[in-house]
């Protein structure tokens, strides 16, 4: 991207697992990064898993869902194996979804509706995601960016969905609060869960254009 745009530095946007990669890259190559933007921002991943499990268990109790309670209590609290994590995620998706107020089918139709992909790619995408997550879970589920990357050398923006329980929003806030950077900006997306670009696209695009871009240009 730097070569294509003819820039020494470019802004990096990281979402979910990409938010871990983005922070790690920005920390290691600050001379190439003008600003960092994170959504579904990972901080202390073990803390996020604990919060997400507690939320789903409480939701199962509120709904009096016996099957969910049985399965969630059977796996117990994190740390989880990949298989146990998938049990927790199954009920999280059924109860509240990855994206708030949007069915999983509609979410995939939106995200795969661009010219670079299509809905026909969905089976391979899902298989690839499951393969990668299974292979990497023991390492990534222990990741703690609070300790690994306590400081960044460029402006930082966290765009967080208020209802995110895939990566618990409060753990993103905790990371934001302790992170040292030349400037920091946290923007809440009140109607979003884990996917603000899809759930509140107008607000997300405006935040990129009005908050991030001016800082990169300067």
Q: What is the pLDDT of residues 104-151, one digit of tens each?
A: 777 777 777 778 778 788 888 889 988 998 999 999 999 999 999 999
Per DSSP, helices labelled H in the chain are 2-5, 17-28, 45-63, 66-75, 82-95, 104-111, 122-140, 145-148, 169-178, 196-199, 201-207, 213-217
Taking the complete model, does pTM exceed 0.85, yes or no? yes
Q: Show me where the domains of the chain are located.
A: 2-45+144-217, 46-140
Instruction: Give the pLDDT confidence score for residue 59 in this predicted structure.
Output: 97
List the CATH code of the domain at 2-45+144-217.
3.40.50.1820
DSSP string of 152-178, one letter each residue: -SS-EEEEEETT-TTTTHHHHHHHHHH
What residues contact residue 91 under an 8 Å CB cut-off, 6+ apart? 56, 59, 60, 65, 68, 71, 72
Q: What is the pLDDT of residues 6-49, one digit of tens each?
A: 989 999 999 999 999 999 999 999 999 999 999 999 999 999 99
Q: Is 193 helix (H, G, I), strand (E, B) or coil?
A: coil
Provide φ and ψ at 187, rounded to 5°. Answer: -120, 125
Q: Which of 116, 140, 126, 154 is nearest to 38 (CA)?
A: 154
């Amino acid at each position: 991207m730097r070569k294509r745009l003819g820039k020494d530095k470019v802004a990096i946007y990281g979402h979910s697992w990409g938010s871990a990669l983005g922070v790690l890259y920005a920390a290691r190559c600050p001379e190439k990064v003008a600003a960092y933007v994170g959504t579904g921002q990972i901080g202390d991943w073990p803390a996020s898993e604990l919060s997400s499990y507690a939320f789903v268990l409480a939701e199962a109790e509120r709904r009096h869902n016996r099957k969910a309670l049985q399965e969630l209590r059977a796996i117990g609290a994190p740390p989880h194996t990949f298989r146990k994590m998938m049990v927790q995620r199954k009920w999280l998706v059924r109860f509240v979804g990855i994206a708030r107020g949007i069915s999983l089918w509609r979410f995939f139709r939106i995200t795969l509706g661009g010219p670079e992909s299509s809905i026909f790619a969905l089976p391979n995408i899902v298989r690839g995601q499951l393969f990668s997550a299974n292979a990497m879970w023991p390492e990534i589920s222990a990741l703690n960016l609070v300790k690994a990357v306590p400081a960044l050398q460029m402006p930082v923006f966290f765009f967080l969905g208020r209802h995110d329980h895939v990566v618990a929003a409060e753990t993103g806030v905790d990371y934001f609060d302790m992170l040292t950077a030349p400037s920091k900006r946290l923007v809440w997306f009140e109607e979003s869960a884990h996917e603000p670009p899809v759930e509140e696209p107008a607000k997300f695009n405006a935040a990129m254009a009005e908050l991030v871009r001016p800082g990169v240009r300067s």
